[in-house]
Structure 1
Amino acid sequence: MKDYILEQLSELTSIPSPSGYTQRITDHVLEKLRDLGFQPERSNKGNVTVTLGGSQDPLVLSAHLDTLGAMVRTIKDNGRLKPTTIGGHQWDTCDGENCTVHTRDGRTYTGVVLNTEPSAHVADKKQEKLEGNMEILLDENVCSDKEVKQLGICNGDFIAMEPRTVVTESGYIKSRFLDDKLSAAILLGLAKAVQTGEITLSRKVTLMFTVYEEVGHGASCLPSDTKDVISVDMGCVGDDLECTERMVSICAKDSFGPYDYALTTRLIELAKEHELDYAVDIYPRYSSDADAALKSGYDVRHGLIGPGVYASHNYERSHTDGMMNTYYLLKAFVAQ
């Protein structure tokens, strides 16, 4: 299963999907689920849902396919692009990063993100890496806004950063957008395990792959019979947190408030019973799809778990151990 999940991760990270530009990746996930013999559906807003089987006590497991990114705010007189942020994108982590501009008529152009004066041999002092000081240099011979527009590039076109996905021999997974394509890949692994008979479901289980989580309203619409929703997202790694990249993280509270007591307690009990490497942590600057569901008024119990991911909203790092600990905890929860 580990190799299968890593294969899905590589395919997912290779498909650009900033919030609002997710048609290609949802097409991909729909095809993967159909190949496994399921009947997924895409909602009006673009979320992919699929019921794996089971009956009673309907559970939704949610992971998001959308990522951070940017959009062309305006085309500058010198032919460079001024960007605007999508989601909690941090420009200081993208200085020097390769990127791709996607036009509304289907064309793509590569470029690089740079500070407006990046050269140490020219500038006395570098500018702060804030949105207003960043620009996209196209890999095209353009020197004016007119020449850029002739390429078909317009304000409102999406800009996606290069993911640079790498898995080391020691098991470390390095990539942009492990938040949340790593957990989306884990859910595809869960679907495969159900399809092959490795998992027999003890309750009705629906997977939801959302497309607007990074901007706050991914899982704002759930199946009407949902009893529990668990957001399978990244687990935080950092100062004042116990989780490492090799663990599954169980979140007790985030910026929206505490997660359901009984549901969170059950996840902790299962992690202990199955001798999984886990941590229980509080995420002070975090919001999830499960939060979005509650904000939308759903009367559901909610939880949040995920593999430990270091350097969130940056070039992120996790580990296959954390990935598999998350998979095994989900497996135990749906087959209990």
Structure 2
Amino acid sequence: GGPYPLAHFTAPRVDYSLQRLSHYTGTEADHFQNFVIFTNYGFYMDEFARVAQRYMEDGHPEYESFVEPGGFVTLNKRLGGGTSGLRATRTPQMPALHLTMPRNRGITIVNIGVGPSNAKTATDHIAVLRPHAWIMLGHCAGLRNSQELGDYVLAHAYLREDHVLDADLPVTVPIPALAEVQVALEQAVAEITHLEGIETKRIMRTGTVATFDNRNWELRDQAEITRQLSQSRAVALDMESATIAANGFRFRVPYGTLLCVSDKPLHGELKLPGMASDFYRTQVNRHFQIGLRAMEILRDQPPERLHSRKLRSFAETAFQ
């Protein structure tokens, strides 16, 4: 019977995050869309920009504009075309690109860089915008001998060894997979790869993703780490996914993870410069297209279906 808050964040907290977003991403909060892709590679940003520019030139029937850091806007040709604003003179720490639609129903991509600290920083601030969903689209170490470089990993559980959220969300709190996001990602993989059913399993594993805060864990004695990975049944390891999922759970933002295997450190296939270049050249486009399509599938769902009750606590505030 006592008073309850009307919003998830206080006004000072929102104001602080809006200022931080402008600082880190180089774009204003107004440009952010309700469906957010996080990545840690510039290759995905380049592909997003290439696709967005083509959409604007071809007069895409849904997206209205493409916004780059600095507030440089390219308008869809069907709406008159042209550009406005100036591109950022320096690349921001976490550059963001936006394909805009009416009512912010478009897609934003943010390059958060490497590591769980960056992942927490970005999601802490973007959460105040109350996005409808966010996903991690990045690379990972494959931990199973049956995996090949370029295979996909759809996370259905997370081993949280990132530590940056330990004080805010204890590791004893489970982070559940959200069916709506999982189905959208799996459907997108099938559509883009033209594989169905059991054939999809040849290139995509569903399993636990372990997120570590030590990029050079391979340099240590691996016995303890390998035992932990084995006990958790992990199929992949990265540095951001569990952080993004945990902050999505914490802030009631639907989340998901689709990673691409770029190396297999437990099986002697390390990420070396020559191999990495060939891998990126052949895999980035398809992986990005899958992530883009997944967000479009989620966007087409009614909001009340996407906002899973799994994310609601006992006395929850309104979503938006």
Scaled by the length of structure 1, the TM-score of the pair is 0.43
Larger Rg: 1
Higher fraction of strand: 1
Scaled by the length of structure 2, the TM-score of the pair is 0.44
Higher fraction of helix: 2
